[in-house]
């Protein structure tokens, strides 16, 4: 992984074969002191794609019953990664295609780069956000 920061608060993260996407983005947030920001674009290829998504509308109290996790291997062309960084913690979504199917969901740890990855992070100075659980234990953005 390599990362580069512009004078106006953009951080470009270059991911190389074998790098882990989310873990590298988290490291770039620490290195470049991204407290509140947005991942505005992300492209690349994964050999391992780990996601989760909500597959129900009744939202049971137990959070583990709300999500379906998928661990997918193969050559995945990433068409987009985006989301919000609050209190230095990214909440990102990904869309990827393997030649036969397109999948999307919350980007999880362990997504290994196959060929390359390029992520753009935009710092949002003057705004301090964090995620706090509501009465249903859903983490929502709030001002700090």
What is the spatial distance between Cα 23 and Cα 123, in angstroms, rounded to a whole number? 18
Q: Set out the domains of the chain in order of their start, with CATH numbers.
A: 2-143 (3.30.1330.80)
- Which token pair is 105? 């969901």
pLDDT at site 56: 79
Q: Is residue 61 predicted with pLDDT exceeding 70?
A: no
The whole-chain average pLDDT of the chain stands at 94
Nearest residue to 124 via CA among 35, 27, 32 = 35
Q: Following DSSP, what letter does each residue of 78-115 receive, concatenated?
A: EEEEEEEEETTEEEEEEEEE-SS-EEEEEE-TT-BEEE
Beta strands 129-133 and 139-143 are antiparallel
Residue closest to 82 by CA, chosen among 44, 123, 38:
38
Structure confidence by residue, pLDDT tens digits, 4-55: 999 999 999 999 999 999 999 999 999 999 999 999 999 999 999 999 998 8
pTM of the model: 0.93
H or E segment to which residue 29 belongs: helix 21-31
Q: pLDDT tens for residues 66-117?
A: 789 999 999 999 999 999 999 999 999 999 999 999 999 999 999 999 999 9
What pLDDT does 82 receive?
98
What the block records as the tokens of 5 is 């920061």
Determine contact, residues 32/106, Cβ cutoff 8 Å: no
């Amino acid at each position: 992984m390599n990362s580069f920061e512009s004078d106006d608060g953009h951080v470009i993260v270059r991911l190389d074969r074998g790098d882990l996407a989310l873990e590298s983005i988290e490291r770039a947030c620490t290195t470049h002191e991204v407290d509140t920001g947005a991942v505005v674009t992300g492209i690349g290829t994964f050999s391992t794609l780990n996601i989760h998504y909500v597959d129900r509308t009744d939202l049971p109290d137990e959070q583990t019953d709300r999500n379906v996790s998928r661990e997918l291997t193969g050559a995945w062309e990433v068409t987009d990664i985006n989301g919000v960084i609050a209190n230095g913690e990214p909440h990102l979504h990904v869309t990827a295609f393997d030649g036969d199917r397109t999948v999307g969901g919350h980007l999880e740890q362990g997504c290994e780069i196959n060929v390359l990855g390029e992520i753009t992070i935009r710092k949002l100075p003057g705004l301090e956000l964090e995620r706090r659980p509501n009465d249903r234990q859903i983490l929502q953005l709030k001002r700090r």
